[in-house]
Amino acid sequence: MRLLAVRRRDRKWEILLSDFWIKTWVRILAAGPRVEGGMDFVLGRAEEEALQLRLPALIPVLLLGASLQVPAQEAELKFKEVCSACHTIGGGRLVGPDLMGVSERQDRAWLVKFIVDPAGVLASGDPYAQELLAASNKVPMIPTAGMTAEMAGQILDYIEAQSGVTVAAPPEVIAPFTAAEAQQGESYFHGGKGLRNGGPACISCHTLAGLSGWGGGRLGPDLTKVFERYAGARGIKAWLENPVSAVMTPVFAEQSLTKTEIRALSAYLEQAALSEAETAEPMLASFFLSGLLLAAALLGLFGFLWRNRYRATRTPMVMGSKR
């Protein structure tokens, strides 16, 4: 809106070189066709025509402007894509701690090292990292693929800048789940009800206590207590909005879960976490038993179907050889 107040003569240039366009170009360049956010101001007809005419000529100029902003933009994108699954800046703890003012808690070299290789720092027995781990229900921070010290530094710059301008907000309040939602969540989990954007049912890779039948897949972790481990409804919600895992990200980035699905699945996971069991019952025994029973049944069936085999084949053969 600020843009529309500039003098008429400068308007097209102002618009084209405005923050908004530079950001949009950076986004397009960084993210390919997946542009987030969209337009938040309305162009008049004259502006639209001017944009269409001038854009090709202006691309080099825009690229130059954009390249100056790339590091900051990239860091912001990375934060939103990866870190925001477990962290807020000023919005309270999720799976991981609120990162507002983190640079005041720890020195930069440590933070860079931790962001690049959290597992390594934890394994080294670093006492501060152990404290963090205990405070987050023993859920360790997962390493981010391809993270470099340079990128970690840029993300820390972004966190610092945000910490300066954000006012810490009270943590988001999520209304209690209903039994109906938990039931709906169960059918999403089982695949009885398909996920709207076509994601695969959770049961193909996950199991949890109380699942009927042969239980779920074993590729992903047991989800019985994940609701507790992931700091409750807010933590689970942020994580499911943006699942960061080598296996789930590629599957669910394009086929994201809807708000309703996330609420229902969270309700179901909350219910599962209330169960006595820590994990799903081991299914190995029942698999083995089912296999044994099935084999016995098949043998019985064959015995019945070919019950005449002695009389028709074996007996004449034995008799013939005796003669």
If one asks whether residue 272 binds ligand HEC (CB under 6 A), the answer comes out as no
Stretch that binds ligand HEC, among 37-45, 57-65, 173-181, 246-254 (CB under 6 A): 246-254
Q: What's the DSSP call for residue 198?
A: -
CA-to-CA distance for 272 and 250, rounded, in angstroms? 26
What DSSP designation does 211 have?
Answer: -
> Is residue 142 involved in binding ligand HEC (CB under 6 A)?
yes
Reading the block at residue 275, the tokens are 């169960």
Distance in Å, CB of 111 to ligand HEC, minimum: 5
- Kindly provide the b/e burial profile for residues 42-61, where b requires at least 16 CB atoms within 10 angstroms of the residue's own CB: eeeeebeebeeeeeeebeee
The answer to whether 75 contacts ligand HEC (rule: CB under 6 A) is: no
- Choose between 62 and 132: whose C-beta lies nearer to ligand HEC: 132
Helix, strand, coil content of the chain in percent (nearest 5): 60, 0, 40
Which positions from 107 to 126 touch ligand HEC by CB under 6 A, shown as an x/- string?
A: ----x--xx--x---x----
Nearest approach, Cβ of 195 to ligand HEC (angstroms)?
A: 6
Residue closer to ligand HEC by CB (options 16, 269) is 269
- N residues, the chain: 323
Name the DSSP letter for residue 314: I
Of the candidate residues 15, 248, 264, 280, the single one contacting ligand HEC (CB under 6 A): 248
Nearer to ligand HEC, 22 or 83 (CB): 83
For residue 66, give every residue at least 6 positions away whose Cβ sits within 8 Å of its Cβ, in sequence order, or none.
22, 25, 26, 29
- Identify residues 79-98 at the interface with ligand HEC (CB under 6 A): 82-83, 85-87, 95-97
DSSP letter string, 267-305: HHHHHHHTSS-SSPPPSHHHHHHHHHHHHHHHHHHHHHH
204 is a contact residue toward ligand HEC (CB under 6 A) = yes
Residue found under tokens 């530094």: 153
| 246 contacts ligand HEC (rule: CB under 6 A) | yes
**By CB under 6 A, is residue 242 in contact with ligand HEC?**
no
Applying CB under 6 A, the residues found at the interface with ligand HEC are 82-83, 85-87, 95-97, 99, 102, 105-106, 111, 114-115, 118, 122, 129, 132-133, 136, 139-142, 144, 155, 199-200, 202, 204-206, 219-221, 223, 226, 239-240, 244-248, 251, 257, 265
